[in-house]
Amino acid sequence: MRDFVMPAALLLLPAALLPAQNASRKLIDLTYAFSAESIYWPNAEGFKLRVDAAGINDKGYFYASNTCSGGE
């Protein structure tokens, strides 16, 4: 039991170190969707989406995997 309690306590430690929620703080979402219409530098490659796998695998489960890339 001791071997389980210590790792579980370490998982909760980062949450305990977070500052308390403050009403004066504002969260700003700086994420953007990537697509063929995304803006890139003129000499950079644009957005690319490669479908690596999509469908039923040999065990009967649906599996999907994609690779995406884009210039900085």
Q: Which pLDDT value is given to residue 29?
A: 86
Tokens of 50: 């490669």
Q: Which pLDDT value is given to residue 39?
A: 78
Q: Which pLDDT value is given to residue 17?
A: 59
Residue boundaries of the structural domains of the chain: 39-72
pTM above 0.75, yes or no: no
- Closest by CA position to 34, among listed 18, 26, 22, 45: 45
Write the burial class of residue 58 (CB in 10 Å: 0-12 exposed, 13-18 middle, 19+ buried).
exposed
Q: Which pLDDT value is given to residue 21?
A: 59
Average pLDDT over residues 8-27: 63
Q: Is the predicted pLDDT of residue 72 greater than 80, yes or no? A: no
Q: Which pLDDT value is given to residue 31?
A: 85
